[in-house]
């Protein structure tokens, strides 16, 4: 399959589950390349990563205005992949919200929900707090990126690269900071929330509130570190995903069989 939205770093046609990864604000699909190589996930899980417009090979495309539009288009892009194998979603920060919104859209289809939803470094969508990072000056925005730690410092020191990065980051921050969840029934799929114990953007109580967004099992995993704790805990994150999917895939297969 060839689609501008989806990257397959290591195709695994024999894998039982496809794990779709959603990047953070300003992030790209390549952020999840190391996860796709994880020996913990192979060979049972094929990792796909979403590539948002405006970055890397899609840098000349129009930036999207908000989370709902992005979620609609990603849902469409995932249709060819929702065939004989269940999907699971992993999203970090803004990506956690997008993964959740896509899961909600799929829940309208019989057996369409993912077999597992992993939400990282983000408060529950029911807890709205309007942010102002997107209103900062360019210099202040670069400072915010340095503090968060998710961007290669070499990029932030290169004026030519910054000229490409800043509009994308500002647009993504605007999208997530203005996002407001439209109340809807809880999902049925398991939700696992992951967070760093020193993440200023995702206090533990706010992360635990994801529990309210599913009638299925809920798990909380706390790692040492800040907002980008997963940069140094990739093996631990992969272990959490693998353990949860082994049970979730069986439940999902049973639900889809009953829906037909």
CATH number at residue 117: 3.40.50.1820
User: pTM, whole model, 2 decimals?
Assistant: 0.92
Does residue 157 lie in a domain region? no
Does residue 110 lie in a domain region? yes
What confidence tens digit (pLDDT) does each residue in 19-76 have? 999 999 999 999 999 999 999 887 889 999 999 999 999 999 999 989 999 999 999 9
Q: What does the alpha-carbon distance between residue 260 and residue 256 come to, in Å, rounded to a whole number?
A: 7
Does residue 174 lie in a domain region? no
Given 92, 227, 233, 252, the catalytic residue: 227
Does residue 212 lie in a domain region? yes
218 φ, ψ (degrees, to nearest 5): -130, 140
Does residue 217 lie in a domain region? yes
3-state secondary structure 99-151: HHHHHHHHCCCCCCCCCEEEEECCCCCCCCCCCCHHHCCHHHHHHHHHHHCCC
Return the pLDDT at 149: 80
What confidence tens digit (pLDDT) does each residue in 144-195 have? 888 888 777 787 878 888 888 899 999 999 999 999 999 999 999 999 999 9
Does residue 78 lie in a domain region? yes
How many domains does one find in the chain?
A: 1
What confidence tens digit (pLDDT) does each residue in 96-132 have? 999 999 999 999 888 789 999 999 999 999 999 888 8
Does residue 33 lie in a domain region? yes
What confidence tens digit (pLDDT) does each residue in 15-34 have? 989 999 999 999 999 999 99
Residue 87 pLDDT level (bands cut at 50, 70, 90): very high
Does residue 179 lie in a domain region? no
Return the pLDDT at 257: 61
Cα 194 to chain centroid, rounded:
11
What's the mean pLDDT when you consider all of the chain? 91
Range of the domain at 90: 6-128+185-259
Q: Name the one residue in this structure whose structure tokens are 């829940």.
A: 107
Q: What does the alpha-carbon distance between residue 255 and residue 44 come to, in Å, rounded to a whole number?
A: 20
Q: Say whether 93 is catalytic.
A: yes
Given 28, 38, 93, 120, the catalytic residue: 93
């Amino acid at each position: 399959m060839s689609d501008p939205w989806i990257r397959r770093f290591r195709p695994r046609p024999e894998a039982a589950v496809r794990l779709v990864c959603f990047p953070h604000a300003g992030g790209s699909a390549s952020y999840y390349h190391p996860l796709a190589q994880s020996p913990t996930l192979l060979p049972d899980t094929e990792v796909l990563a979403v590539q948002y417009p405006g970055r890397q090979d899609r840098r000349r495309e129009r930036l999207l205005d908000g989370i709902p539009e992005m979620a609609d288009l990603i849902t469409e892009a995932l249709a060819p992949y929702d065939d004989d194998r269940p999907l699971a979603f992993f999203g970090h920060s803004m990506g956690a919200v997008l993964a959740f919104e896509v899961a909600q859209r799929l829940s309208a289809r019989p057996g369409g929900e993912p077999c597992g939803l992993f939400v990282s470094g983000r408060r529950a969508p029911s807890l709205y707090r309007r942010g102002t990072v997107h209103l900062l000056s360019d210099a202040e925005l670069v400072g915010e990126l340095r503090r968060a730690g998710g961007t290669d410092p070499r990029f932030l020191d290169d004026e030519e690269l910054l000229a490409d990065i800043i509009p994308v980051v500002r647009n993504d921050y605007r999208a997530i900071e203005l996002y407001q969840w439209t109340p809807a029934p809880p999902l049925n799929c398991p939700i696992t929330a992951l967070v760093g114990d020193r993440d200023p953007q995702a206090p533990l109580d706010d992360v635990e509130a994801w529990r309210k967004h599913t009638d299925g099992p809920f798990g909380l995993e706390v790692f040492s570190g800040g907002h980008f704790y997963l940069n140094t805990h990739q093996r631990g994150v992969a272990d959490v995903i693998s353990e949860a999917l082994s049970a979730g895939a069986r439940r999902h297969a049973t639900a889809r069989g009953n829906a037909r």
